[in-house]
Amino acid sequence: MSVHTQASTAGERLRSAPLQYLRAGSLALDVAVVSGVSLLLGLIRLGTPSLWYDEAYTYRQINRSYVEQFEGYQPLYYWVQKPWTDVAGSSEWAMRLPSVVGAMLACALLVVLARKLFDRRIALLSGLFLATSPYFVKWSQQARAYSLLVALGLIATLLLVRALDRPSRGAWALYGVAFVALLVTHAVAGLLLVPAHAVLIAQRRERFFPHGLLAVVIVAAVGLPWIAQLAMRTDNETSETAWIPYPSVEYAGRTLLALSGAAGVGLLLAALGLWTLRRAGDGRVALWLASWAVGPFLLALVISVARPVFVDRYLAVAAPAFAMLAAVGVLGLAARFRAGLGVAAAGATAVVLVLWYQAAEPGNWRGE
């Protein structure tokens, strides 16, 4: 390489360095903004309502040994809760705080993922949509695993994108381990993410072979046996999942409206997002996000024919896809329409959040 070429290469690196620092700085700022909003909404009246039935089950589990917690349905979540409550106590506020932190982490990870797919504006708005989603706020304020499941799902998805971008044995092994962690934390939530991950792998299948087979081996060796023993252990009328009924049309409809966004506004925005992506020629991204948003809903219905698993909170892993589609839908509109739709979405969100924060007698969360 000539001296002139070396100088040119060095000059290019120097010119690109400020842009890289600027990008990293803006990402850090956006992550801080959405995490702060998530924290603020999560702390409102966090310790006021008493524990309800599912949270009381968490309290019972964290007072068992680490080995005994594997007899439960979400062992890795209890492994987080147990040492935390040993230090912070088992008040309502203390038991619920890890879920608030999980929501903050999920919102931050969504900004990182959306920045890889879109521009800064869409990434920031995606994080804000998730942070302010009444559905997501509701489940982030309870001593259960659901906000942490969303964070785990986003970690697995980011690792899948990384493995596809830079395929290697190490990258695919790391993705396999992350997906197994999701399955062990909550088997149904992990299964419901399979359609979205399968679509993304199929779209870039030339980067899957041969190293991607390592992830398959890891999931098959650890994840599938875990799911199998859970299925056998819960196949009776006294198991902890025996209460789940087959979903009615009304319940399924309400779940979809709540999951997508306040009062169904999020479903409209998601549809606009899909239309915007298709119009822009991003059909592959549209298909992937659609499979992520709707795939868990449909798969839960199909599985429920044999074993009911359709529970609104189990579908939380789809919330990030709805948030990204909503951001694309809003920012894809002309400015004069964008403002009105943004105000409508903000208004609906505020109303539903206020309703959520209002406690019903005898002091527990409204609707529980």
pLDDT, tens digit (0-9, with 9 covering 90-100), for 117-130: 999 999 999 999 99
Residue the block writes with tokens 């100088």: 7
pLDDT digits 0-9 by tens, 208-265: 999 999 999 999 999 999 999 888 887 777 777 778 889 999 999 999 999 998 878 8
Q: What pLDDT score does 22 carry? A: 53
Residue the block writes with tokens 């509701």: 138
Q: What pLDDT score does 2 carry? A: 47
Instruction: Report the distance separating Cα 147 and Cα 140, nearest Å.
Output: 5
* Residues of the chain falling short of pLDDT 50: 1-7, 10, 14
Q: Contact, 324 vs 122, CB < 8 A? A: yes
Q: What pLDDT score does 6 carry? A: 42
* Paired tokens of 295: 């795939």
pLDDT digits 0-9 by tens, 60-86: 999 888 888 887 788 899 999 999 999
* Paired tokens of 143: 């001593």
Burial class (CB in 10 A: 0-12, 13-18, 19+), 82: middle
pTM comes to 0.91
Q: What pLDDT score does 365 carry? A: 58
